[in-house]
Chain A
């Protein structure tokens, strides 16, 4: 009956508590998700949410959401964000500020790099179990490809392709170099 499902359903869950972080790096930041597994009511409404904190000069590796659109609202700080569509066009390339909202369409690739004050955001995903696929990192798509497929695809030597795979140590975050156009020291 309805009273056994919706009426008593838990509808609230704190997402700010650092102890609940799903991905955490004391230097880079953290990322916390809420979905139908952690808050079952999301299964009814077919939505999910996430909270991200990114420290200065750290970024989230390029990634795409496999099964949802993501609406991202900036709660604090700023970040340089690039979103790329299927044609390889950069459809967003700007510094987003506190109070701003932007959409990352399903399957579109996005990269975020925090500004001087860091970057904090909350995101709403249009699937109860939003799944992300990363383009770099230890668990990324590139890590799962044979080195020689990478070599052939990008015209690299086999050894270069292997070292490319081996050098991807992180999973979710990357550190911006000082020469990065978005780095706070470069003054872009």
Chain B
């Protein structure tokens, strides 16, 4: 920052100016290049997640504080080193025993009025299991000591399509470089003729990582070996087999079998029904 950059003489109120649309919702950004916000050292954006929308697992370069303005659903934060303390069993009548269905780290539910903190670099996801859209106001504190990268509110997605997934990594890189050149050329030309908003949105989407899947940057064979899985699964994980760009918020068609503790007796009837639908089999914490 230049010495005089943050000597305010006037403060303005702003609406979000940039939108990144996805299949299951939209993220609206307040201009991250706005001088006033840059002086504040943090960035704000608003996730609007439609019912059954899943914000794909991702992590950020700075801690987040989110306010749930509307909606309800589930979220999870995967903290490295923590155990998978939520587990479910399936009773096997023939053998008289039980077998694991799944186990994962603790997940939480959110509802209107909640504040949620997502630590930097910890993978998190969020699923709107309610009937109305979820509106989440998020602050990303890029000037936090935890961030050693630049001041952009970066997000690293672990899933989704990536432009690079269309070919091998090196080939994709060259292709991407060529496309980048074409894009920049196009941006210069189009910028002269208007469409600035769209260009800024596209630029923002790329710069902040909203069109990326970090696994797509690895060779698919490496992903297959590292995950000890088959090639088809590996290709799906790096986004190679997906034909359409669903964006960073996808719509989930199936019922999610998330392990959620039973509601307490004081919970409302509607909440109990909600939990039962998700829970499926027996579960324990």
Listed stretches A16-24, A25-33, A62-70, A115-123; interface member: A62-70
B120 CB to nearest A CB, Å: 7
Let me know if A179 is at the binding interface, CB within 8 A.
yes
Let me know if B256 is at the binding interface, CB within 8 A.
yes
Question: In the complex the two chains form, what is the Cα distance from A61 to B222 in whole Å?
Answer: 9
Q: Would you give the 0/1 interface string for A79-114, flagging 1 where the beta carbon is closer than 8 Å to chain B?
A: 000111111111101000000000001110101010
> B149 touching A90 by the CB < 8 A rule?
no
Chain B interface residue number, banded: 35 or more
Q: With A89-B176, A90-B173, A153-B57 known to touch, is A182 a contact of B219 (CB < 8 Å)?
A: yes
Which chain B residue has the least Cβ–Cβ distance from A158? B257
> A141 touching B212 by the CB < 8 A rule?
no
Which chain B residue has the least Cβ–Cβ distance from A148? B256
Q: With A89-B176, A145-B123, A146-B76 known to touch, is A61 a contact of B149 (CB < 8 Å)?
A: no
Listed stretches A4-12, A35-43, A47-55, A169-177; interface member: A169-177
Question: In the complex the two chains form, what is the Cα distance from A89 to B165 in whole Å?
Answer: 9
User: Which of A69, A86, A174 is close to B214, meaning CB atoms less than 8 Å apart?
Assistant: A86
Contacts of B162 in A (CB 8 A): 87-88
A101 CB to nearest B CB, Å: 18
What does DSSP make chain B's interface, helix, strand, loop or mixed? mixed
Q: With A86-B212, A88-B212 known to touch, is A107 a contact of B59 (CB < 8 Å)?
A: yes
> B125 touching A149 by the CB < 8 A rule?
yes
> B149 touching A147 by the CB < 8 A rule?
no
Question: In the complex the two chains form, what is the Cα distance from A59 to B216 in whole Å?
Answer: 18
Q: Would you give the 0/1 interface string for B3-26, flagging 1 where the beta carbon is closer than 8 Å to chain A?
A: 000000000000000000000000
> A164 touching B54 by the CB < 8 A rule?
no
B248 CB to nearest A CB, Å: 11
Contacts of A93 in B (CB 8 A): 169-170, 173
Which chain B residue has the least Cβ–Cβ distance from A132? B80
Let me know if B121 is at the binding interface, CB within 8 A.
yes
> B156 touching A86 by the CB < 8 A rule?
yes
Which chain A residue has the least Cβ–Cβ distance from B220? A181
Let me know if B199 is at the binding interface, CB within 8 A.
no
B121 CB to nearest A CB, Å: 4
Q: With A144-B84, A149-B76 known to touch, is A167 a contact of B227 (CB < 8 Å)?
A: yes
Q: With A106-B149, A152-B250 known to touch, is A146 a contact of B258 (CB < 8 Å)?
A: yes
Q: With A62-B226, A152-B254 known to touch, is A131 a contact of B80 (CB < 8 Å)?
A: yes
Contacts of B54 in A (CB 8 A): 149, 152-153
Listed stretches B33-41, B98-106, B266-274; interface member: B98-106
Contacts of B173 in A (CB 8 A): 89-90, 93
Contacts of B27 in A (CB 8 A): none
Most chain B beta carbons < 10 A, residue from A105, A135, A156, A160: A135
> A147 touching B102 by the CB < 8 A rule?
yes
> B225 touching A133 by the CB < 8 A rule?
no
> B121 touching A107 by the CB < 8 A rule?
yes
> B222 touching A182 by the CB < 8 A rule?
yes
Q: Which of B195-222 contact A (CB under 8 A)?
A: 206-209, 211-219, 221-222
> A175 touching B78 by the CB < 8 A rule?
no
> B176 touching A67 by the CB < 8 A rule?
no
B122 CB to nearest A CB, Å: 7
User: Which of A67, A83, A86 is close to B146, meaning CB atoms less than 8 Å apart?
Assistant: A67
Let me know if A136 is at the binding interface, CB within 8 A.
yes
Which chain A residue has the least Cβ–Cβ distance from B256? A148
Given contacts A85-B214, A87-B207, A154-B159, 20 further A-B contacts (CB under 8 A): A59-B226, A62-B218, A86-B155, A86-B208, A88-B216, A89-B173, A107-B149, A109-B156, A145-B78, A145-B123, A146-B102, A146-B256, A149-B76, A153-B160, A154-B233, A155-B242, A167-B227, A174-B228, A176-B222, A177-B221
Which residues of A line the B interface, CB within 8 A?
59, 61-62, 64, 66-69, 82-91, 93, 105-107, 109, 111, 113, 126-127, 131-137, 139, 141-149, 151-156, 158, 160, 162, 164-165, 167-170, 174-177, 179-182
